[in-house]
Amino acid sequence: MPISPKLVMKEPNYYAETYNKASIKHIKILDSTLREGEQHPGVYFTNKQRIQIAWMLDYFGVDQIEISPVVSTDHFDATKIIIKQGLKADIVAHVRALKSDIDIALKCDSNWVATYLGISDVHLNDKLRITREEALERSIDVVEYAKKHGLKIRFTVEDGSRANPDFLIKLCKSIENSKVDRISLPDTVGILHPSGMYNFVKKVRSEIKIPLDVHCHNDVGFALANSFAACKAGADQIHTTIDGIGERTGIPSLAEVATAISHIYKIKNDFRLDMLVDLSRLIEQYTKIIPYDSKPIVGSSAYKHKAGTHLAAVLKNPAAYEIINPRSVGNKRRIVFGELSGKTGASYLLSVLGIKNTKFSKDVAQSLKKLRMGDLIEIPLDTD
């Protein structure tokens, strides 16, 4: 859905200068709601739900959908069935860097597999109890095994943001030689800030030619910014989940990433952004996790306007306080009448009720002042 002409700014501005000249030409999305998302505490989908979510993500237009066939027989069945649907998106079977896990992916008739191996010292020494040499050997072996079986393979250097940089590059080069198709660079623990993420990806980009995914955790809230910093440094696919659910504080939300690609970076894409709120509500219904009301794009307050000065401006032109037409992302604009509405708000409320005479506005404004949270009056405002 096109952005409202009223919202388009034609004047020179900082954002166009900064972003339109960025090196980012195209950004793909891998959605991992069915893998990372299911790692969120309390989240478990039925196979019917998994299939429906995969269909909806495909219709929305993500490039890849990730699911793990190894966590249970249920997941194995779901992976197999989803692969059979013949969706446009690649279905990526996410497994450990083990030949036996690759065999499970093969049994699901996967074309795409993603294997992961912790490569930071804390993962090698304390989680896996293997040496760097063993990790290197295992990585090459598993990539060669997958390629021998005709699979496309992504390799995730888990906890890469904390790994020894020389070892990380050595491993990436070795698997590139073994013909790995993509490498995922994760900030598994959410430790990086945007410039750190830029440097991390830039370093790998300068040594490695194959496409790079980026997978950013949100432990201190940098996941979205880090994902775009990574793309500026040369990654071309961002990992998301619906509503950002995942381990701990999760990863960037599909809604925020897709909207930023379209409206902030203005990169051409075929995403059906008007499905975003429905996707979020679907996940809310299945997980019982309600996104906080001010959550960007999908939150129930994301397009509500309350202060009198805001109301007065938005009634004339919503672009005064909105950068995106809420309808274009499936949300609704609402105005909220309450203690801050002032005379403009009051006379608008009266006009909605069919009362043209503005002599009551002052009294109504006074009465509205007495409204408190929970008593507020809200109405939709669809001006365009």
Distance CA 239, CA 282 (A): 19
Q: Select 74 or 247, whichever has its Cβ closest to ligand HCA.
A: 247
- Tell me the DSSP string of 126-138: III---HHHHHHH
Judged by CB under 5 A, how many residues of this single chain contact Cu ion?
Answer: 1
116, interface contact from ligand HCA, Cu ion, none, CB < 5-8 Å by kind: ligand HCA
Contacts of 344 (CB under 8 A, 6+ apart): 308, 311, 312, 315
CB of 289 to ligand HCA, least distance (A): 18
Q: Alpha-carbon distance 104 to 79, whole Å?
A: 10
Minimum CB distance to ligand HCA, residue 47 (Å) = 21
Nearer to Cu ion, 84 or 248 (CB): 248
Would you say 276 and 254 are in contact if contact means Cβ atoms under 8 Å apart? yes
Q: Which does 156 bind (CB under 5 to 8 A by kind): Cu ion, ligand HCA, none?
A: ligand HCA
Nearest residue to Cu ion, scored by beta-carbon proximity: 36
Burial class (CB within 10 angstroms; exposed 0-12, middle 13-18, buried 19+) of 364: buried
CA nearest to 113, candidates 159, 176, 155: 155
Instruction: Name the residue nearer to Cu ion (CB basis): 190 or 338.
Output: 190
Q: Which helix (H) or strand (E) holds 287?
A: helix 276-287
Instruction: Identify which of residues 27 and 277 has a Cβ nearer to ligand HCA in the complex.
Output: 27
> Least Å distance between CB 371 and Cu ion?
44
- Interface residue list for ligand HCA (CB under 6 A): 36, 39, 114, 116, 156, 158, 184, 186, 188, 215, 217, 239, 247
Q: Which is nearer to ligand HCA, 120 or 328 (CB)?
A: 120
Please choose which of Cu ion, ligand HCA, none residue 161 contacts, taking the beta carbon within 5 to 8 angstroms, the exact cut-off set by kind: none
- Tell me whether residue 229 or residue 277 sits nearer to Cu ion (CB atom): 229
**Tokens 């440094």 sit at which residue?**
233
Instruction: Write down the least CB distance from residue 325 to ligand HCA, Å.
Output: 33
Using CB under 5 A as the binding rule, the residues of this chain from 6 to 65 that contact Cu ion are: 36
For residue 213, what are the β-bridge partners?
A: 184, 237
Which of the choices ligand HCA, Cu ion, none does residue 378 contact, using the CB cut-off of 5 to 8 A by kind?
A: none
Decide which of Cu ion, ligand HCA, none touches 158; Cβ closer than 5 to 8 Å per partner kind: ligand HCA
Q: Judged by CB, which is closer to ligand HCA: 186, or 299?
A: 186
DSSP for 293-346? TT-TTTSTTTTEE-SHHHHHHHHH-GGGT-SS-GGGGT---EEEESTT-HHHHH
Smallest gap from residue 116 Cβ to ligand HCA (A)? 5
Copy the structure tokens of residue 216: 């950013």
* CA–CA dist 351, 86 (Å, integer): 53
Residue labelled with tokens 């096109």? 2
Shortest spacing between CB 92 and ligand HCA, in angstroms? 9
- Shortest spacing between CB 66 and Cu ion, in angstroms: 10
Residues that bind Cu ion (CB under 5 A): 36
